[in-house]
Amino acid sequence: MSDLEKYVEVALLLPISQTFIYSVPDHWREIAYPGRRVLVPLGKRSVTGYIIKFPSTLPKEIEIFPLRRVFEDDTAISENLLHFILWTAHYYFQPIGEVIKCALPPGMHPRVKESYCLSTKGREALEDASVPEAEKKILSSLLEKRPGLKVKKSDRKILQKMLAHGWIEKKEPFLEQRVKEKKVAFLRCLAKPENIRLTPRQAEALKFIATAGEVALPDFRAKYPHSSFLIKKFKEHNLIEIYFQETFRQISWGEDLAWPMPTSIRLTSAQEKALAEIWPALASKKFRPFLLHGVTGSGKTEVYLRAIAETIAQGRSALLLVPEISLTSQVMAYFKDRCPYSLAILHSGLTPGERFDEWRRIKRGMAKLVIGARSAIFAPLDNLGLIIVDEEHDSSYKQEEKVLYHARDLALVRGKMENAVVVLGSATPSLESYYNVLQKKFSYLSLPERIDARPLPEIQIVDIRQDKNKEQRKSIISSTLAENLQQTIMRKEQALLFLNRRGFATFALCPDCGYSFKCPNCSVSLIYHLSEKSFRCHYCDYSLVAPSSCPRCSSPRLLLLGTGTQRLEEEIKKEFPSALVGRLDRDTAGRQKSSQIMNQVRRGEINLLVGTQMITKGHDLPKVTLVGVLAADLSLNVPDFRASERTFQLLTQVAGRAGRGDLPGKVIIQTYNPDHYSLAFAQNHDFIGFYKQEISFRKEMGYPPFKRLIHLRWEGNSLEKVQKFAQNLHTLIIAVRKVNPKYAEQIEVLGPAPAPLSYLRGKHRYHILLKGQNWSRLHNFCQEVLEQREKIAIPGVRLIVDVDPINML
């Protein structure tokens, strides 16, 4: 064994980019290898981390401490997954420990608790009258030997003092996990009831246990009321034993996923053609990326299902990513009856206990298919053969908080590492993905028609400026949309109304003095919510009970302008009293509620559904024949180079919800910009046309996929400090750029400037955009800048690095 194997490099589960080297005590040499969880000293504390590798060199003139503990349990990360995590951390400039945390269920994040015990001296102190009460209280609680003494911050000093006195001693710190394994008690018979008198009921209950072999206590309880008496009796006579077994929590869906799913399906020729390409790729067991471009309702899910079945038949596992939690249940329903293999779910809508258990089932190889949202890209699957990203264009694959990464892009990386096939599916592929097809990086699969040759819906664009309703009734619903809604209701069909703004009124204004309600923490208007009669900020959740008069001039006449989903719902209810109206947005949809609301639509308990973004994605609702888009301009007016693309995608997707059953669908788009090309191409279902126009704009402006971007944003409470950091960072960037002539030639630096949302959640925000054509050069450049970030750091200013940014607001 080389000398270096006595040491390991550890990433701590903390938001710091530095890693540390520790020595391995001899008795742990066998088990201390990369991927294992460890407990290490850091200053005076103990913290958890993961071994990431054996170091190639050792730091000089620094004392190296030994590991405190190595864990040999479920918490370990496989070599493959660790490799993927390290790649992710490097590529996105994120701390390794933070990426590891993304890969673990949240309940597994441990807390390190210091523990102490009482010394003989301490026992004496307890008896000593001169010792103050506060000390005694802690000492006596230690006497009870409660592990993990909880010490309030204010008591820390006392603790230090008592340590110094030698009253208490530090013991090994221990880890407390937030979620634990669930154990269930089981009953099993030990002996026949010879010479023991049992009542008929007792005899029957005992026989029940004996016949079953073993019975879970909750089941026994359900069958036999007053079971504790029975059990006591059996135990007394040694007739049964009680033992505990680990069980996995059942995921509760709140309600049944019962809606009819096709049981036997004959593939369409387009589906067959697509699969005919995927199958050999799977057989080759090599990395192959595909773009599956299928119009809405073309049967992409069926292709996924068959490809997954094939993968699992080969003895490998599969991962299916979906953009929206409520879609997991739809996909589950589709798969449930037709998958003979076990599947697991991973997303933030599960309880911590459920996530913990699903994760461990996956890790133990008990689940062959994982369906999940973006963080499932880190699922601990072994032997991965296929990764599918459904609705690959969706921006929810980009995680914007804590650790910034893009799960769609990572799917390709992981697929490559695992020699897996990767299928990106969408009706509206991202420009980047379609560009990759044209560059021959992805193979192209197409489902150009809807199932059963159902027509794509007819799309009508309504110019709101010309609408007579606007003048007469001041309604956001145009007369064209109103007429169509009326007909839909009369025909007993269903409609979706899409408005990408929740709340009631989006703006409150005093007509007398011009006062408007703004969030004190953010540079945005507060939004009026009718149900709570409050003004709320959609960024920081600040809320204010709505005053009845203007805070500035006391005028009682406050105007509520603009419309959100709440007001739309009210309006619809008023105008169409016979309709069953429902609403789906972040205010109405809790964890599982979004799929409940969607189920209500499926069962016909809702026939007019009002909603935000959440209703546009992937849902298969056969009875929806009308879709109304209330304000197409909302997404067009966002100051972002992807605004047109996003609008095209949104309109195509929401339109795609119409006419998926036997009845043809119709779509009405209301707008102030009827001539915008995004709308025109969406109206004609012309993705290629849109692509050609948009890609030329990207080329001209030097945006992705032609140039790559890294977005640096920093924020802080003090504007002065944030501005000072802007200067520092800019100076540093310019200095690094000068060092290398290639940088000076090729890296563009835009900014620093205040971010479009210049004040958010109480923080001032500035940004710089780095642009470059050559990716590795841009990445190296950024790396060199970041390596020197300590030099320019200002306390209270936080820098956020966003590689391949999606949201630059």
Q: Which does 748 bind (CB under 5 to 8 A by kind): Zn ion, ligand ADP, none?
A: none
Complex with Zn ion: residue 341 or 542, whichever CB lies closer: 542
Query: Does residue 620 touch ligand ADP according to CB under 6 A?
Result: yes
> Contact with Zn ion (CB under 5 A): which of 386, 508, 510, 558?
510
Min dist. Cβ of residue 301 to ligand ADP (A): 3
Q: Which does 552 bind (CB under 5 to 8 A by kind): ligand ADP, Zn ion, none?
A: Zn ion
What is the total count of residues that contact ligand ADP (CB under 6 A)?
Answer: 16
Which tokens sit at 360? 């461990």
> Contact with Zn ion (CB under 5 A): which of 118, 445, 522, 651?
522
- Kindly write down the DSSP assignment for every residue of 484-538, as one continuous string: HHHHHHHTT-EEEEE-S--SSBSEEE-TTT--B-B-SSSSSB-EEETTTTEEE-T
Min dist. Cβ of residue 294 to ligand ADP (A): 5
Query: Does residue 542 touch Zn ion according to CB under 5 A?
Result: yes
Which tokens sit at 435? 């560009």
Complex with ligand ADP: residue 629 or 655, whichever CB lies closer: 655
Q: Which does 262 bind (CB under 5 to 8 A by kind): Zn ion, ligand ADP, none?
A: ligand ADP
Min dist. Cβ of residue 480 to ligand ADP (A): 26
Pairing of strands 405-406, 581-584: unpaired
Min dist. Cβ of residue 547 to Zn ion (A): 11
> Contact with ligand ADP (CB under 6 A): which of 49, 105, 299, 716?
299
Angle between helices 687-701 and 643-655 (to 10 degrees): 170
* Cis amide leading into 66 (omega within 30): no
Complex with Zn ion: residue 469 or 521, whichever CB lies closer: 521
Q: Which residues make beta-bridge pairs with 42?
A: 45
Min dist. Cβ of residue 509 to Zn ion (A): 9
Min dist. Cβ of residue 802 to Zn ion (A): 21
Pairing of strands 666-671, 624-629: parallel
Complex with ligand ADP: residue 349 or 661, whichever CB lies closer: 661
CA distances from 284 to 131, 165, 305, 309, 572 (A): 76, 70, 19, 16, 55
> Contact with ligand ADP (CB under 6 A): which of 88, 94, 119, 296?
296
Complex with Zn ion: residue 513 or 793, whichever CB lies closer: 513
CB atoms within 10 A of CB 54: 17
Complex with ligand ADP: residue 538 or 657, whichever CB lies closer: 657
> Contact with Zn ion (CB under 5 A): which of 174, 248, 515, 677?
515
Identify residues 257-276 at the interface with ligand ADP (CB under 6 A): 262, 265-268, 271
Find the part of the chain contacting Zn ion (CB under 5 A) among 55-63, 180-188, 507-515, 781-789.
Answer: 507-515
**Which residue has tokens 């994982």?**
370
Q: Which does 419 bind (CB under 5 to 8 A by kind): ligand ADP, Zn ion, none?
A: none
Which tokens sit at 280? 């050999």
Q: Which does 522 bind (CB under 5 to 8 A by kind): Zn ion, ligand ADP, none?
A: Zn ion
Residue type, 386: L
At residue 668, the 3 state secondary structure works out as strand
Q: Which does 510 bind (CB under 5 to 8 A by kind): ligand ADP, Zn ion, none?
A: Zn ion
Tell me how far apart the alpha carbons of residues 305 and 307 are, in angstroms, rounded to a whole number: 6
| Window 438-457: contact mask with ligand ADP (x via CB under 6 A) | -------------x------
Min dist. Cβ of residue 265 to ligand ADP (A): 4
Nearest to 454 by CA among 685, 660, 683: 660
- Kindly write down the DSSP assignment for every residue of 27-74, as one continuous string: GGTTT--TT-EEEEEETTEEEEEEEEE--SS--TTS--PBPSEE--ST
With the C-alpha atoms ordered 495, 496, 497, 503, is the resulting torsion angle positive or negative? positive
**Which residue has tokens 């709570």?**
532
Query: Does residue 329 touch ligand ADP according to CB under 6 A?
Result: no
Query: Does residue 552 touch Zn ion according to CB under 5 A?
Result: yes
Residues 6+ apart with CB under 8 A from 190: 238, 239, 240, 241
Query: Does residue 298 touch ligand ADP according to CB under 6 A?
Result: yes
Q: Which conformational region is residue 238 in: left (phi greater than 0), alpha (psi within -120 to 50 degrees), or beta?
A: left
In this structure, what is the dihedral angle of CA atoms 205, 207, 213, 215, given to the nearest 10 degrees? -10
Min dist. Cβ of residue 335 to ligand ADP (A): 12
Residue 497 near residue 568, CB atoms below 8 Å: yes
Q: Which does 550 bind (CB under 5 to 8 A by kind): ligand ADP, Zn ion, none?
A: Zn ion
Query: Does residue 300 touch ligand ADP according to CB under 6 A?
Result: yes
Min dist. Cβ of residue 603 to ligand ADP (A): 16
Min dist. Cβ of residue 316 to ligand ADP (A): 23
Min dist. Cβ of residue 629 to ligand ADP (A): 18
From first CA to last CA, the distance across the chain in angstroms is 53
Identify residues 225-264 at the interface with ligand ADP (CB under 6 A): 262
Min dist. Cβ of residue 625 to ligand ADP (A): 15
Q: Which conformational region is residue 440 in: left (phi greater than 0), alpha (psi within -120 to 50 degrees), or beta?
A: left
Complex with ligand ADP: residue 328 or 478, whichever CB lies closer: 328
Pairing of strands 405-406, 398-399: antiparallel
Find the part of the chain contacting ligand ADP (CB under 6 A) among 7-15, 297-305, 375-383, 759-767.
Answer: 297-305
Which tokens sit at 724? 């000072």
Min dist. Cβ of residue 451 to ligand ADP (A): 4
Min dist. Cβ of residue 329 to ligand ADP (A): 14
Residues 6+ apart with CB under 8 A from 290: 277, 278, 281, 421, 422, 423, 424, 442, 443, 444, 445
Nearest to 141 by CA among 131, 156, 151: 151
> Contact with ligand ADP (CB under 6 A): which of 97, 105, 289, 294?
294
Secondary structure (H, E, C), 235-300: HHCCCEEEEEEEECCCCCCCCCCCCCCCCCCCCCHHHHHHHHHHHHHHHHCCCEEEEEEECCCCCH
Complex with ligand ADP: residue 319 or 510, whichever CB lies closer: 319
Tell me how far apart the alpha carbons of residues 303 and 272 are, in angstroms, rounded to a whole number: 8
Q: Which does 451 bind (CB under 5 to 8 A by kind): Zn ion, ligand ADP, none?
A: ligand ADP
Query: Does residue 559 touch Zn ion according to CB under 5 A?
Result: no
Query: Does residue 503 touch ligand ADP according to CB under 6 A?
Result: no
Q: Which does 296 bind (CB under 5 to 8 A by kind): ligand ADP, Zn ion, none?
A: ligand ADP
Q: Which does 553 bind (CB under 5 to 8 A by kind): ligand ADP, Zn ion, none?
A: Zn ion
Residues interacting with ligand ADP, by CB under 6 A? 262, 265-268, 271, 294, 296-302, 451, 620
Residues interacting with Zn ion, by CB under 5 A? 510, 512-513, 515, 519, 521-522, 537, 539-540, 542, 550, 552-553, 555
